[in-house]
Chain A
């Protein structure tokens, strides 16, 4: 059934609101990473994204102890999946996103950001076949978002994503979005106080929460 009537496409575009300017680079790793993270955040052309993802995978292969290259490669594949209309290609990108994220996860088990990204992949999976996948993957995504929040209650992205899925469910059932909006308010508060751990820490998602705030009015 078309439980997944959420407009993921729009939703994902909204995540692309530019994060705060990145700090000055202090070495080659950080510098190259920042350049490519920015492309992943802002690129719209698939070739440009593919290029950035390839570079991130190269960095990941060279820097064996860093989790960030794989995290952002995964994010890049999610963006590519989101722009792809062919169902089986979409799945292929999501498979690649999952594979890249698994490498990040192996380096950093139980990380709130990585768990939230896993949920994000599940959420985009619904798009491929909402009728068959809606139920299963919305359940899995919700589970991931909740786990990400419990791992780090200060993670604003986990809350913002959870708010999205709650909003979609409420809209589908025609019930008030009270719970979703409360989660979203919480997410916005956390965005205000959120302090990135370092120059490469994830910064995306605020735009998504802000646009939902409009819908909640």
Chain B
């Protein structure tokens, strides 16, 4: 170039031989693209297109060159030009690339939360700051449409599905039993702390062929990448304490946390309906290792162990003074290894290995039961693009589970129920974009189950179309299957998988921090396990059912400064004929109307966030053995107003106070009946209530780091 420049200087005549290049750069709709960079490759010469997509520039370069037009979101355009002094006109249309920001997305039924992405409806941080959720993942997701609030369980019940129909995956790897142990009819908490995750994808139906063994819903959690800074976090809680340390280095980090929870002092202060002998206490250890490998590779190892125990007195329904001691010791281990690496420009591979071990050691009176479940999951997924408009995802996995229940009964007749299941699966799924406005996803999943020796094939299909700049419509269909509950398979190993088909139609408009989502669905259940002639020891896949509903979601954090709120409403109509149902009936966990409003307001002057959550659930069916109709009873409605306050006295200290059900409503979740009728032939009952009307929590979180401005807020 310098030589050329010098030549021009030496021969002034040559400098006169200027060439003018001009033209118009349009998009595929024929509209001008402003701001595109037009370059004479290898030179400084070029121009930028104006509002109409026009450009013009002159050059003193001579001979053959290449003109390159580029703009973010479009494919680069290249054309050979011969610069000989006569004007050159280049008019062209740029082809759209499939652009992350503009493209239509597959999202029917899914709420994706990630702080990094700009298209999320729900954020990872929302889990920590939603009042009433007490930083529990399921608690926060229960404020989204598609879920049914089942207060005595604390688990996720999705679109007429039982809680075991929602499966949890961490970095794509299956988790067996994602909830901690809880006393009968008291809510359990998720085992995984929300702060570990950078992304949460909660799908209420129609999910990818990558996920199997889930009938209703998938909760996919993406763990955080390497930590950026070294820090120590201390938490002092009204129910325990925790301490965590993170050590960061270039390209990697290591973190460890120890948490001790003991609710005994709290229950000593605030009267509980449960007659505890010893209230729950647990100790938990968490370790995480992250290391970047090569340019874009990543290895993650995560593990936790948990030991918890409690014991309580069970009072007989007919005679309060007749009581049995119930004692539980639970041990849990989870280890997850994840890797991800780029194979070449177009393909990458990810996968991992997970291992779960659960042991429940339980005494009911003098009967002793030990239930153990050990599972391993291995998976490898290849993802890549076949062309710039077709993406393929394909993988294989093996899920192995070993279940044992050893019953040592006081009256003798000890017995063991066990099974060992291996599921081998493969899947392939393709995304085809015809433009940024239309995408089609088709997939197939095949499984082989070693217990019933059956091969299955399930199709999935999704179509999404962008109806406007920020709105889209989406249809999804899929066939899903899941091995029946352990309690059933341990009795009959030959049982077939239970099946569900989802049909979902969804409309979403998302503009400037406001989101509106409306969806309707129909779900068909087949091959549900049913007792033959009412005998729970004789099982067959003869049950069926359906669920249909309409859901509404509105979120707005723009209209009022410092106020963020969302409103969810779900209507559900579901019936199923399964287990002991004599015919199709609405199951006791299903409620027709679920409504919730979540608000968060930040008071800038006092650096305090106030959160309020209101939830309403219409009455749920229960079965009264004294009545003729199965599941004919109906509980009163459920309602709860929860409040939380977070205050930052210093940049590195957070004080967090929360209270559930501040109004103290006595919610009734159902009724328990005695196993045999009394002298008058009546089955006596008692209501299932909240263990206490309110739950109060106080926590002080301190972070020690080099810059003193980091706090635990993003991790709470």
Contacts and interface: CB of A to CB of B under 8 A. Distances in A.
Interface of A: 1-3, 5, 27-28, 32, 47, 50-51, 54-55, 57-59, 61-62, 86-88, 91-92, 96, 128, 131-133, 135-136, 138-140, 142-143, 146, 169, 172-174
12 contacts: A1-B646, A28-B2, A50-B34, A50-B35, A58-B43, A87-B118, A96-B72, A131-B564, A136-B714, A139-B229, A143-B229, A143-B707
B671 interface: no
Contacts of B604: 2, 5
Interface in B678-706: 706
Given A32-B44, A139-B228, A173-B650, A58 B37 contact: yes
A67 to B, nearest CB: 17
A55 B44 contact: yes
Contacts of A140: 228
B651 A91 contact: no
B115 A132 contact: yes
Given A87-B512, A143-B229, A50 B562 contact: no
B689 to A, nearest CB: 36
Contacts of B118: 87-88, 91, 128
B707 A139 contact: yes
The residue in B37, B646, B713 that gathers the most chain A C-beta atoms within 10 A of its C-beta is: B37
Interface in B388-411: none
A54 B50 CA distance: 12
A47 B47 CA distance: 12
B148 interface: no
Contacts of B710: 135, 139
Contacts of A146: 706-707
Given A1-B609, A92-B72, A47 B5 contact: no
Interface of B: 1-2, 5, 34-35, 37, 39, 41-48, 50-51, 72, 101, 115, 118, 123, 125, 228-229, 512-513, 557, 562, 564, 602, 604, 607, 609, 646, 648, 650-651, 706-707, 709-711, 713-714
Nearest to A140: B228
B651 A173 contact: yes
A117 B125 CA distance: 27
Contacts of B37: 54, 57-58
B46 to A, nearest CB: 5
A47 to B, nearest CB: 7
Contacts of B512: 86-87
A47 B557 contact: no
Contact of B513 (A54, A87, A173): A87
B602 A1 contact: yes
Given A5-B604, A58-B39, A62-B1, A133 B44 contact: no
Contact of A47 (B50, B562, B713): B50
Contacts of A136: 115, 714
Contacts of A32: 44
B709 A142 contact: yes
B707 A142 contact: yes
